[in-house]
Amino acid sequence: MDLGIDRQAPVPVVQQIVSAVAQWIRTSGAAPGTRLPSVRQLALDNLVSQSNVIEAFERMVAQGLLSPRHGSGFMVAPPAVVHEGHWYEGAEQAWGGFTDSPLGELKLGNGWLPDAWRESDDISYAIREVSRTDTAGLFNYSSPLGLPALREQLLKRLNHLQVATRLECIVTTHGASHAQDLLIRTLLKAGDTVVVETPGYGNLFRQLAFQGVTLLEVPRTRGGPDIPTLEALLRDHRPKCLFIHSLYHNPTGTSLCREVAERLLQLARSEDFLIIEEDIYGDLQHASCVRLSALPHDGRVIYVSSFSKTLSSALRVGYLSASAAIVARLVTLKTLTGIGTSRFAEAVVAVLLANGTYRKWVQRLRKRLAVHMAATLQVLEDEEWKVFAVPAGGMFLWAKPGAVAPARVQAQARRLGVLLTPGALFSPNGEPSDWLRINVAYADDQRALALFRVMGPARSTSTILKTTGV
């Protein structure tokens, strides 16, 4: 078995062995119980130490990929049994995977940045700074509204974005999903009706459904929600809220245009509903853009954002801006259900904002994503994929291969070691779709490029089989 070890690569040899053996299991279709070459033989064939092979195999045993057999070496393990009916059933597929994939598949539809793109040194510095200067942050809850030092930085950021607010109108949360949950439970009750965009963020749909809220669907266009459809929904159903992504919409990558934004605010006033504007990708903007919160809205817009997608998902720091009356209700619920947010995590983010590190990081990130966006769009154009819109920035594309059945796309993706996030997961009612969310930060991987290529309309079956190794 040739593992293709590259001693010049930054990836440790042990991890290279794990990835290579996992890929062999996946592409060869090795059945459970298939015996692997001996440790000694594998080490000899690939000019690596036996200790490296043993460590790699032990890691794969811990991951459930291999089983040790006394006196017989290592075997391919049987697949893990997933019992039906658990709350987490399908969650990994739905959200692109919260953990590393045991077989090392490429998560092309992931909702966040690759680990290799993160800049851990800056976060490590901020952690050391907080540990040295704010001992209380290691042990205590944050204040009900959130750490004052962080909220002061957030006020500066929002003012820079021309989002008019006050310090007492900003509250921190455990990320944007926590902010949405607090808003849903504070503003809505079972049986209430809201409008959501389709396609849209699947976790929001499930949060609303869990609380018994009725969802009305408005199609997302290249410039925002489809206004004629929205007007009809408002006239017939009188919903209480509209949930919207203004910038770099998940999953289409589109942004709100000025004309649609102004009409939305007119409708919010005349039809008496609130707009919850999520802006977790807004820091990736390249040029001027339209936020509802930055326009005169008479308190009709609630702004939600977080640092999970740009900085670190592990820190779990989000925030929202709303009227003082709504914030007071949110803080009561936040305190009752979670006592408080993490003072330590909030202090770390406050340091990164105050010393300019975060601003410089997102500037570098924008440039890097722009390069990957342009390259991915070019590849998809060359292979005649359909793209819903050409985003002005961000990390998502909403695309599909021309005239290819979704089942065939998924099958080829599995053969190539690519995990796709099905379009149905971005539908409020789970309606099947052949559209796919593509994260451009992952799209330069050879497995992604192979998928784009074999799904091109000019590819013959023999070409596909040859490319995928089937």
- Which distant-in-sequence residues (6+ apart) come within 8 Å of 385 by Cβ? 399, 400, 401, 402, 452, 455, 456
Reported as a single tens digit per residue, the pLDDT across 21-39 is 887 887 777 888 899 999 9
pLDDT at 286: 66
Is residue 470 within 8 Å of 415, Cβ to Cβ? yes
Q: Which sign, positive or negative, has the C-alpha torsion 199, 205, 209, 215?
A: negative
Q: How do the pLDDT tens digits run along the chain, 470 residues long?
A: 888 888 877 668 888 888 888 878 877 778 888 999 999 999 999 999 999 999 989 888 887 889 988 777 899 988 755 443 333 334 444 444 444 555 567 899 998 888 888 878 888 988 898 988 877 777 788 889 999 999 999 999 999 999 999 999 999 999 999 999 999 999 999 999 999 999 999 999 999 999 999 999 999 999 999 999 999 999 999 999 999 999 999 999 999 999 999 999 999 999 999 999 999 988 887 667 899 999 999 999 999 999 988 888 888 999 999 999 999 999 999 999 888 898 999 999 999 999 999 999 999 999 999 999 999 999 999 999 999 999 988 999 999 998 777 778 888 888 888 888 888 899 998 888 889 999 999 999 988 999 999 887 655 344 443 443 33
CB neighbours of 363 closer than 8 A, spacing ≥ 6? none
Residue 96 is predicted with a pLDDT of 45
Task: Check if the beta carbon of residue 63 is closer than 8 Å to that of residue 21.
Answer: no
Rg (CA), the chain: 24
- DSSP letter for 195, please: E
Domain ranges of the chain: 13-76, 91-111+360-468, 120-355
The answer to whether 420 and 410 have CB atoms below 8 angstroms apart is yes
DSSP per-residue codes, 108-138: TT-SS--GGG--HHHHHHHHHHHHHH-GGGG
- Look at the pTM and tell me if it is higher than 0.75: yes
Q: Is residue 460 classed as helix, strand or coil in its secondary structure? A: coil
Q: Look at residue 469 in the predicted model and tell me its pLDDT.
A: 39
Dist. CA 59–CA 147, nearest whole Å: 40
Q: In what order do the strands lie in the sheet with 396-401?
A: 385-387, 396-401, 436-439
The reported pLDDT for the residue numbered 466 is: 43
How far apart CA 412 and CA 410 sit, in angstroms, is 6
What average pLDDT does the chain have?
87
d(CA 376, CA 390): 11
Residue 114 backbone dihedrals phi, psi, to 5 degrees: -65, 150
Q: What is the dihedral of CA 99, 369, 255, 241, to 10 degrees?
A: 20
Q: What is the pLDDT of residue 94?
A: 45
Model pLDDT, residue 205:
95
Tell me how far apart the alpha carbons of residues 227 and 271 are, in angstroms, rounded to a whole number.
14
Classify domain 120-355 by CATH architecture: 3-Layer(aba) Sandwich (3.40)
- CATH for 13-76 is 1.10.10.10
73-123 pLDDT tens trace: 899 988 755 443 333 334 444 444 444 555 567 899 998 888 888 878 888
CATH of 91-111+360-468, one of 3.90.1150.10, 3.30.70.1450, 3.20.20.330, 3.30.9.10: 3.90.1150.10
